[in-house]
């Protein structure tokens, strides 16, 4: 075969992509020998299908043909036309081997390619043998019942994909519907009603679309239910929009019920679990069921394409003609436009002879000759009946023949947003890590060159700065992919607040501020639990019942604010309420009760310090344990989750005015600018945000005083921590350590008003490091905040200075 | 290849219809609302057929159809409206706005393909 230079480019792509499909195929075929699961068949089918697809781009006939036949085999196996046999498994394996051989041959040819036309010979690779082997698989006893081949153009893989898309879209629609509904309860505006209608409308349309792909029976039932519920809800709001009905609490309740049902059904579709709430679904739909079932049935009936397409157009033409007969003043353009299409349809169906009839209709309609028009309409109707009759017989023929039109390789639609597998994002992040390691290595390499006054220095600097720029861009791009606006998370609590407030007989509005603030995906995930606890607390304990509020001169409706904003290198996320506030004295009493502080001490603590007790496990001042909150679990979860991200939490409260809980999260958890040091032959990283300066001092300047050590740095006496002692729990004699030039390398750490010197063995390099979280048990009481993986694959620990020096 | 423009705010519907039409040998361009669709009409050129939803954010289908018809360049491009069974008034509006005919969701793949073939003629 000959390939043009453009083809060769595509071939390179094929060589890159094909191994993905081939890697598992052999194992899967072998697994098929043992058991025949549907997923296995689907997966093998998809692999062959994809291979065929990509090979089709350059008309790589041997692969296309063999894969096509293999695909057919799987399809027949799935439909039950064939049963599994050793010969069939052999044939599939051969097919996969053959594809491998072709790719191998291609790879060889490409290796020696130097431009121009590429000639590759596949003749001797045994294509004929493979195809013959497939042909020769002994036929099974013919199954008498007709194999089901739902829609000729669609394969299962695509149907699955569509279902997947549908579920993702459904989730979006549900969230939107819920949000809109909440907004609607507060201010019924027609625009809001329309948005709501559109959300239900999309759900319905999506369900119908998936239904048209002949899903499996269990899926079909679920989809049908979703479709009907969405339809019902759409109707509700349509009536409201048209002014036939008004928004009442019952309607909203009903809508929430529908949304919850759809969500549950969608979950079952996604997981394949059983136990659908059919009773609830039926109860929801009962009033409309009877009338609707008829409609749905007629819709899903299949028919033949061209005739049915024409029938649809013709029907519209006749309808419009009727309208025209009733009111002759209607504009002629509509009729004209439809007539054009009708004529083309007639031509397409080989009924050119009838085209003049349509011409005639247009002419008479222009002349306003109603009588002639009536006559023509009758003729057209008869013609239509004729065509319909032909269609019915064609339908029967088609059912008998079971033809399947040729396929073309699946091409991806140009989507405007792409859903990316989070695993891929994770892998990209690892690449960023490697890039950073490379950048750090380059930097120290350039420094070395500088010291050696290498003649290549200017060039090396150029390359290094290019690499630096590129990795910075790439890094911020990858991180931005991982950023999600927090508003999506915030708005989830609208429903929580509403339901909770209702069950407690309170009135609460949730306000969202800074919803556009973007945070890393993983941070958003970790914020979800803490926010749930805080929001529940606020509704349950914070906001007072309406009567009490009025009595206090507050508006009866309480307000909870979810707020996010950036400040410095941090993102702040806050939950604020205008409720009764926390009783600081009660917390003081409880803290003493629990033996956390003595009664003397507790009086010396500031309110803020006292309030921080609330974050301790099992600490709750709620007098009654309700089913909502107050069991004393929750606040500690908030603290743990936030601190695991290197963040901090705090609480402020003013009696009768409200409570504000703030969470401070580092902007970038991912990249740490740090100083790498050596401590006892190991490398460690100290985050630069804590490093004030580095100095080297003679050991004499270190003084011991009681059990502590101090060092004088530029006339300032600082407490000294020897890192090796903390990390390895030993005692180190600084004089006997043998430092370079007998000077002790010190890192002066500063933060939160405290300063401390840390003695290390040597300073190594400064750089950026991608931080990976480590499991709790590896954190060494918080001394370790994470690890980074170096370019050579070694792992270096990133220290957490505040814990190291025990501030 | 004959170019078809699919306008729909549901990416699934777009992808699905695009897949069917591409399988049948059409080139497909898509847009998620009327504004984007108009843009594509001007930038892509030689679009032979438009399939549009009515219910869309930003610019709805009816407005989009009217705008297309106002432009002499596109006055003859066949427009197919895609609606559901329940919006009888909408589809009439669609025709009045300038669409040639409508299709009712869910559309059988073969009907979609044939309808486009009929619409573009030849």
Q: Does A486-666 match A156-294 at the fold level?
A: no
Compute the residue count for chain B: 122
Higher per-residue confidence, B87 vs B2: B2
Decide if B120 is inside a domain. Answer: no
pLDDT digits over A97-151, tens only? 899 889 888 888 888 888 788 888 888 888 888 888 888 887 654 444 444 433 4
Beta-strand ranges (E) seen in A706-753 are 708-713, 716-722, 744-751
Q: Which among A550, A542, A562 is positioned nearest to A501, based on CA atoms? A: A542
Count structural domains, chain B: 1
CB–CB contact B12 A169 (8 Å): yes
pLDDT digits over A230-252, tens only? 988 888 888 887 777 777 777 88
Q: How many CB atoms lie within 10 A of CB A189?
A: 11
Residues of A in contact with B24 (CB under 8 A): 153
Residue A33 and residue A88: Cα distance in Å, rounded?
9
Q: What is the pLDDT of residue A301?
A: 36
Query: Which CATH number is A486-666's, of 3.30.565.10, 3.40.50.2000, 3.40.50.12780, 3.90.180.10?
Result: 3.30.565.10
Q: Which ranges constitute the DSSP H helices of A301-369?
A: 305-326, 333-348, 355-367
Q: Chain-wide mean pLDDT for chain B?
A: 87
Decide if B85 is inside a domain. Answer: yes
Decide if B10 is inside a domain. Answer: yes
CATH number, domain containing residue B80: 3.40.50.2300
Beta-strand ranges (E) seen in A95-175 are 118-119
CB–CB contact B84 A208 (8 Å): yes
Q: What is the pLDDT of residue A526?
A: 85
Decide if B113 is inside a domain. Answer: no
CB–CB contact B14 A413 (8 Å): yes
Q: Is the dihedral of CA A713, A717, A718, A724 positive or negative?
A: positive
pLDDT digits over A465-507, tens only? 888 888 878 877 887 777 888 988 898 888 888 888 888 889 8
What architecture (CATH level 2) is domain A671-804?
Answer: Beta Barrel (2.40)
Residues lower than pLDDT 70 in chain A: 36, 57, 139-155, 214, 286-304, 328-331, 390-419, 568-569, 620-634, 668-669, 751-753, 773-780, 791, 793, 807
Q: What is the pLDDT of residue A290?
A: 42
pLDDT digits over B11-67, tens only? 877 887 888 888 888 999 999 999 999 999 988 878 999 999 988 888 889 999 999
In sequence order, what DSSP letters do the residues of A621-686 get, joined into one string?
--SS--SSS-SS-SHHHHHHHHHTTT-EEEEEEETTTEEEEEEEEES-SSEEEEEEEEETTEEEEE
Q: What is the pLDDT of residue A632?
A: 46
Cα within 13 Å of Cα(B111), Cβ side = 24
Q: Provide ipTM, 2 decimals.
A: 0.87
Only one residue has tokens 């149907």, namely A159
Expressed in percent and rounded to 5, the helix, strand and coil fractions of chain B are: 50, 20, 30
Q: Domain A2-135 class?
A: mainly alpha
Of B30, B104, B106, the CB nearest to A209: B106
Both tokens of A237, joined, read: 């709001």
Q: What is the pLDDT of residue B5?
A: 96
Q: Where are the domains of chain A?
A: 2-135, 156-294, 305-399, 424-483, 486-666, 671-804
Residues of A in contact with B26 (CB under 8 A): none
Q: Are A52 and A63 in contact (CB under 8 A)?
A: yes
CB–CB contact B95 A334 (8 Å): yes
CB–CB contact A198 B55 (8 Å): yes
Q: How far is A357 from chain B (nearest CA, A)?
A: 18
Of B13, B85, B101, the CB nearest to A299: B85
User: Which CATH number applies to A156-294?
Assistant: 1.20.120.160
> Could you list the residue range(s) of the whole structural domain that residue B60 is in?
3-105
Decide if B91 is inside a domain. Answer: yes
CB–CB contact A165 B117 (8 Å): no
Residue A717 and residue A231: Cα distance in Å, rounded?
76
3-state secondary structure of A750: strand
Only one residue has tokens 């501030």, namely A807
Burial of A441 (0-12, 13-18, 19+ CB in 10 A): middle
């Amino acid at each position: 075969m000959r390939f043009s230079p453009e083809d060769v480019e595509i071939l390179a792509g094929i060589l890159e992509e094909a191994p993905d499909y081939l890697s598992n195929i052999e194992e899967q075929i072998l697994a098929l020998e043992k058991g025949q699961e549907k997923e296995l068949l689907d997966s093998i089918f998809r692999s062959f299908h994809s291979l065929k697809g990509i090979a089709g781009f350059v008309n790589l006939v041997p692969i296309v043909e063999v894969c096509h036949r293999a695909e057919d085999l799987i399809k027949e196996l799935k439909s039950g036309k064939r049963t599994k046999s050793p010969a069939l498994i052999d044939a599939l394996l051969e097919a996969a081997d053959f594809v491998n051989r072709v790719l191998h041959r291609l790879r060889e040819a490409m290796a020696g390619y130097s431009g121009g036309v590429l000639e590759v010979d596949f003749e001797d690779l045994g294509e004929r043998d493979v195809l013959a082997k497939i042909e020769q698989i002994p036929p099974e006893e013919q199954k008498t019942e007709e194999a089901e081949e739902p829609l000729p153009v669609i394969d299962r893989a695509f149907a699955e994909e569509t279902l997947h898309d549908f579920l993702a879209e459904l989730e979006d629609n549900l969230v939107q519907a819920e949000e809109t509904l909440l907004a609607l309860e507060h201010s019924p505006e027609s625009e809001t009603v329309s948005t709501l209608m559109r959300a239900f409308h999309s759900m319905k349309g999506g369900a119908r679309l998936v239904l048209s792909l002949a899903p499996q029976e269990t899926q079909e039932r679920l989809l049908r239910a979703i479709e009907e519920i969405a339809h019902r809800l759409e109707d509700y709001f349509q009536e409201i929009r048209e002014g036939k009905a008004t928004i009442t609490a019952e309607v909203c309740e009903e809508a929430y019920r529908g949304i919850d049902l759809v969500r549950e059904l969608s979950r079952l579709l996604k997981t394949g679990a059983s136990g659908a709430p059919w009773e609830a679904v039926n109860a929801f739909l009962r009033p409309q069921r009877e009338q609707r079932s008829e409609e749905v049935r007629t819709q899903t009936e299949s028919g033949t394409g061209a005739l049915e397409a024409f029938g649809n157009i013709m029907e519209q033409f006749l309808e419009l003609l009727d309208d025209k007969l009733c009111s002759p003043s209607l504009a002629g353009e509509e009729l004209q436009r439809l007539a054009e299409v009708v004529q083309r349809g007639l031509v397409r169906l080989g009924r050119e002879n009838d085209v003049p009839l349509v011409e005639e209709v247009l002419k008479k309609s222009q002349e306003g000759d109603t009588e002639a028009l009536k006559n023509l309409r009758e003729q057209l109707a008869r013609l239509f009946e004729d065509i319909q009759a032909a269609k019915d017989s064609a339908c029967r023929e088609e059912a008998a023949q079971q033809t399947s039109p040729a396929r073309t390789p699946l091409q991806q639609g140009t989507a405007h947003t792409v859903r990316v597998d989070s695993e891929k994002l994770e892998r990209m992040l690892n690449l960023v890590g490697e890039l950073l390691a490379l950048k750090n290595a380059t930097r120290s390499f350039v420094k070395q060159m500088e010291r050696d006054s290498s003649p290549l220095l200017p060039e090396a600097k150029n390359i290094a700065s290019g690499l630096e720029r590129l990795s910075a861009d790439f890094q911020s791009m990858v991180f931005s992919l991982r950023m999600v606006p927090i508003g999506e998370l915030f708005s989830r609590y609208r429903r929580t607040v509403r339901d909770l407030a209702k069950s407690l007989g309170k009135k609460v509005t949730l306000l969202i501020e800074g919803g556009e603030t973007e945070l890393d995906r993983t941070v958003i995930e970790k914020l979800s639990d803490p926010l749930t606890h805080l929001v529940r607390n606020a509704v349950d304990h914070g906001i007072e019942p309406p009567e009490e509020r009025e009595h206090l001169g507050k508006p009866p409706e309480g307000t909870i604010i979810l707020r996010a904003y950036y400040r410095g290198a941090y993102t702040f996320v806050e939950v604020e309420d205008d409720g009764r506030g926390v009783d600081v004295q009660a917390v003081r009493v409880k803290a003493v009760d629990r033996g956390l502080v003595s009664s003397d001490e507790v009086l010396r603590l500031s309110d803020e310090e006292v309030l921080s007790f609330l974050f301790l496990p099992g600490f709750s001042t709620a007098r009654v344990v309700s089913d909502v909150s107050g069991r004393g679990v929750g606040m500690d979860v908030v603290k743990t989750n936030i601190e695991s991200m290197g963040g901090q939490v705090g609480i402020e409260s003013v009696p009768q005015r409200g409570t504000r809980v703030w969470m401070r999260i580092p902007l970038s958890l991912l990249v740490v600018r740090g100083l790498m040091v050596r401590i006892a032959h190991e490398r460690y990283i100290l985050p630069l945000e804590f490093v004030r300066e580095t100095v080297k001092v003679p050991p004499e300047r270190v003084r011991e005083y009681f059990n502590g050590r101090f060092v004088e740095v530029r006339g300032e006496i600082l407490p000294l921590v020897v890192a090796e002692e903390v990390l390895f729990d030993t005692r180190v004699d600084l004089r006997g350590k043998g430092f370079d030039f007998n000077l002790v390398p010190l890192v002066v750490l500063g933060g939160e008003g405290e300063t401390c010197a840390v003695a290390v063995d040597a300073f190594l390099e400064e750089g950026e490091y991608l931080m990976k979280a480590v499991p709790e048990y590896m954190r060494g009481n918080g001394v370790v905040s994470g690890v980074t993986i170096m370019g050579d694959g070694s792992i270096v620990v990133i220290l957490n200075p505040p814990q190291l020096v025990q501030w | 290849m004959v170019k078809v423009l699919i306008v729909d705010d549901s990416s699934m519907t777009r992808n699905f219809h695009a897949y069917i039409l591409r399988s049948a040998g059409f080139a497909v361009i898509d847009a998620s609302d009327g504004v984007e669709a108009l843009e594509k009409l001007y930038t892509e050129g030689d679009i032979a057929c438009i399939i549009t939803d009515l219910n869309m954010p930003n610019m709805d289908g009816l407005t989009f159809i009217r705008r297309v018809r106002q432009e002499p360049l596109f006055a003859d491009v066949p427009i197919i409206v895609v609606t559901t069974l329940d919006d009888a008034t909408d589809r009439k509006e669609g025709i009045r706005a300038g669409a040639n005919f409508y299709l009712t969701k869910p559309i059988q793949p073969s009907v979609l393909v044939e309808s486009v073939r009929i619409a573009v003629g030849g």
